[in-house]
Amino acid sequence: MPVVQLKAARDSTTRQVYVPPRSLVADGSLREPDLIEVAAQGLLYSATTFNGQAYGIVDLDCGARIQALLAEGTDRIGDRVIAKTSDTNNEARFSHE
């Protein structure tokens, strides 16, 4: 199964990556970032459950940190996780590799 790709933006000067993409870089210079795609894989930073749904903070390999849906049983902090597309409703959920 191929790795899910996320839409992102990268500041060509600082190389900072923004997920989701943004229209201007964060330093106030009014520069437009380059639109890119990044692999949806990285390290699980934190995890919680709310109303039966698992959520986590993932430090992506590209350097960005995102909040994401987690597959059931994905709760080992510090482990590598990868996003896979669900067959039922075409959502990307992160799970242990």
pLDDT digits (tens, 9 = 90+) for 14-67: 999 999 999 999 998 999 999 999 999 999 999 999 999 999 999 999 999 999
CATH code of 88's domain:
2.40.50
User: What is the SS3 string spanning 13-60?
Assistant: CCCCEECCCCCCCCCCCCCCCEEEEEECEEEEEEEEEECCEEEEEEEE
| Domain limits for position 41 | 5-96
**Both structure tokens of 70:** 């987690």
By the 8 A CB rule, do 17 and 8 touch?
Answer: yes
Residue 88 confidence (pLDDT): 63
**Both structure tokens of 25:** 């870089």
Residue 91 confidence (pLDDT): 75
Alpha carbons within 13 angstroms on the beta-carbon side of residue 62 total 22
Residue 66 confidence (pLDDT): 96
Residue 87 confidence (pLDDT): 57
What is the domain count for the chain? 1
Model pLDDT for residues 59-95, shown as the tens digit of each residue: 999 999 999 999 989 989 999 999 987 656 667 889 9
